Amino acid sequence: MNGFSNTVTLNNLQRGILFLGDSFTWGEGLELYCDTPKWISERNHINTWQNLRNKQDSDGTDFRKNNRYPGIVARHFNTNAYIDDNNGGYIQRYLETANQHLLNPDLYIDTIVIQFSIISRDPLHSTLRNCKCMFCTNIEYYRVYEDIDNFLYKLMYNIELSELDKETLHIIENTIKMQKDNPNFIEKVQEQINNSYQSMLDNFYLDYVKFWQAGGKRKIYVIDSWDTITSKFILNSEFNNYKIPLIGKDNKKYYTYETWKNTFKFKEISHEFKGCGNGHPTLEQHQYLAKSVIQAIENRR
- Ranges 205-214, 250-259, 264-273: which has the least confidence: 205-214
With beta carbons less than 8 A apart as the criterion, state whether 51 and 45 touch: yes
> What number is the average pLDDT over the span 46-64?
97
CB 300 within 8 A of CB 282: no
Q: Measured between alpha carbons, how far is 88 from 297 in angstroms, rounded to an integer?
A: 25
DSSP string, 119-167: GGGSBTTTTSTT--SHHHH-GGG--BHHHHHHHHHHHHTTPPPPHHHHH
For 161-206, how does the pLDDT look when each residue is reduced to its tens digit (9 = 90+)?
A: 998 888 888 878 887 889 999 999 999 988 888 887 888 899 899 9
Return the pLDDT at 40. Answer: 98
Which domains are seen in the chain, by residue range?
9-123+198-299 (3.40.50.1110), 136-197 (no CATH)
> How far apart are alpha carbons 278 and 29 in whole angstroms?
7
**Rounded mean pLDDT, 41-48:** 97
Q: Report the pLDDT averaged over residues 67-85.
A: 97
CA-angle at 15, arms to 12 and 18, nearest 5°: 150
**How long, in residues, is the chain?**
301
Q: For residue 49, give the amino acid letter.
A: W
Most confident range, picked from 12-26, 89-103, 118-132, 263-277: 263-277
According to DSSP, residue 252 is labeled: -
**Count H helices, E strands: the chain?**
15, 7
Alpha-carbon distance 210 to 60, whole Å? Answer: 37
Q: What whole-number distance in Å separates Cα of residue 127 and Cα of residue 235? A: 19
Q: pTM value?
A: 0.88
Q: Which of 87-91, 97-101, 119-123, 290-294 has the lowest average pLDDT? A: 119-123
Of 80-84, 91-95, 241-245, least confident by mean pLDDT is 91-95
Q: How confident is the model at residue 6 (pLDDT cuts 50, 70, 90)?
A: very low
Position 293 pLDDT exceeds 80:
yes
Q: What is the mean pLDDT of the chain?
A: 89
Alpha helices in the chain (DSSP H): 23-26, 37-42, 49-52, 58-67, 69-76, 91-102, 134-137, 145-156, 163-176, 185-204, 210-212, 228-235, 257-261, 269-272, 283-299
Strand partners, 223: 115
Q: Taking the alpha carbons of 130, 132, 134, 139 in that order, is the dihedral positive or negative? A: positive
What gap in Å lies between CA 242 and CA 201, rounded to an integer?
13
Q: Is the dihedral of CA 275, 278, 279, 284 positive or negative?
A: negative
Is a pLDDT exceeding 50 seen at residue 2? no
Per residue in 121-172, pLDDT tens?
887 666 666 666 666 665 555 567 777 888 889 999 999 999 888 888 887 8
Lowest mean pLDDT among 108-112, 135-139, 171-175, 281-285: 135-139
* Helix (H) or strand (E) run with residue 32 in it: none
pLDDT of residue 9: 47
Q: Does 117 score more than 80 pLDDT?
A: yes
**What does the pLDDT read at residue 139?**
53
Confidence at residue 97, expressed as pLDDT on a 0 to 100 scale: 95
Residue 130 dihedral angles phi and psi, to the nearest 5°? 55, 40
Write down the pLDDT at residue 257.
98
Q: How far apart are CA 219 and CA 209, in angstroms?
A: 10
